[in-house]
Structure formats: C-alpha cells, structure tokens
Chain A
Amino acid sequence: MQRRRSSLKCRPILISRQIIDLATELNISLDPDAVRNLVRLGIESLKQETELEHTLTKLEEEKTRLASIFRRVASQSLQLESNYVGTRSRFGRISRDNRVLAMHLCARSPRGKREGQLRDELIQKYIMNYRNA
C-alpha cells in the first residue's frame, strides 16, 4: 500500500551526478522507497556531510594501508607454502622410493649382525610402519 502511494504521489527534484555515482558505487537504487530510507538515514546520522567526507577519506587511506599489508603477508604466505609443499612432496617421494627398496631388501638375507639389524630396522620403518613413518 505504502509502495503504491509512493509511486503515485511523487515530486521530481534535480540531483547532482555525484549522488548518482555514490548510489551506483553502493549498488543502491534511487527509487522512492530507497530515497525515503536514505533521507531517514541522513536524519539519524550523527555526522554532517563534511565530517563524513573527512571520515571517508581516512577510511579509504586506511583501506589502502591495510590492503598493502595484506598483499605483503599473502606474498610471504605463498613463498612459505611453496617451500612447505616442495619439502613435503620431496619427502613423500623419497619415502616411497625407500619402501620399494625395502621390499627388494626383504627378499635378501643379511650377511652380518650389523647388516641384519639395519635391514630389520628399515623393513620395519618402510614396510611395517610405513603409514606412521
């Protein structure tokens, strides 16, 4: 009902391009109901236009500063992550190779006590406890 009344009883006024641009930037339509809400917001605002413009400048500067910090941290993260993934995958590859070598070793019998001990340790590590290694 209110929407119908709004659309029927309206009075056109001229506004500047700046207001249109601000509304577009905020993705806000300027239909009569939205205008009503914006006017209410304007009435309730604790700050005046110049104060708000100053606040916006400060907030934009803060956003630029924060975005720069974020980009720096993100770049550090990428470098470290690449190092981490590289080291982990190299370890995985060597471990799989060792498992294959340990399997070959299973088929052979050791010559000495020391050799037997090493053989048992490696078979234990790369075959029996492989998932925990």
Chain B
Amino acid sequence: MNAGNERSPTHKLKIPRDLYEEIGSQEKIIRLIKVGLLSLRAASLERENADLIKRTGDLEKYIAELPHEIARFQQLLEKALKDRKTLEKLLAKKR
C-alpha cells in the first residue's frame, strides 16, 4: 500500500451484489462489517486473556514447587560440604 492510499480516508470494497440487495443499504453493510470485525477482535482478546490466565496459573504452580526443591538441594549441599571436610581430614591423616 503506498503513501497516497494510507492518507486516504476511504477505501473501496467489493460487496457481493446479492448481499447488497439483501441488506439494502451501504451504511448498514458497513455497520455490519464493523460489528463483525469488532466481534472477532473481542473473541480474539478473550482468547488471549484466557491464555494469559492459564500461563500465569501454570507458572505459579511451577514456582510454588521451587522453594521446596531449593531447600532440599540446600540441605543435600550442606551434607555434601560436611562430607568433603571429613574426606579431606581422613585423607590428610593418611599422608
């Protein structure tokens, strides 16, 4: 689309003649197209919001597990560090 078109306030749209005759007026068709598009946009936003809620919930469940896992590994780490000291002491005695 060129710059001339972007500045233009209106654009041409081809409407099936039978549809035009059924609806009866250009204004009514334009209004219905707009309502159709707005409905689609609303449905799309509802999906996006539902997706955000689900992703946030999944993430919250995941991070709820992490403090427990961190504490578990912290405990294991403390024991391993204690064991290393013992191992080093035992090896030092032998030298």
- Per-residue contact bits, chain A 99-117, to B (CB 8 Å; 1 contact, 0 not): 0011011001011000100
Task: Identify which of B31, B35, B69, B94 contacts A84 (C-beta below 8 A).
Answer: B69
Q: Which residues of B contact A (CB under 8 A)?
A: 8-20, 23, 26, 29-42, 44-46, 48-49, 52-53, 55-56, 59-60, 62-63, 66-67, 69-70, 73-74, 76-77, 80-81, 83-84, 86-88, 90-91, 93-94
CA distance A13 to B5 in the complex (A): 16
Chain A interface residue count: which class?
35 or more
- List CB contacts (< 8 Å) of A8-55 with chain B: 9-20, 22-23, 25-26, 28, 30-32, 35-43, 45, 47-49, 52-53, 55
Task: Identify which of B30, B66, B83 contacts A13 (C-beta below 8 A).
Answer: B30
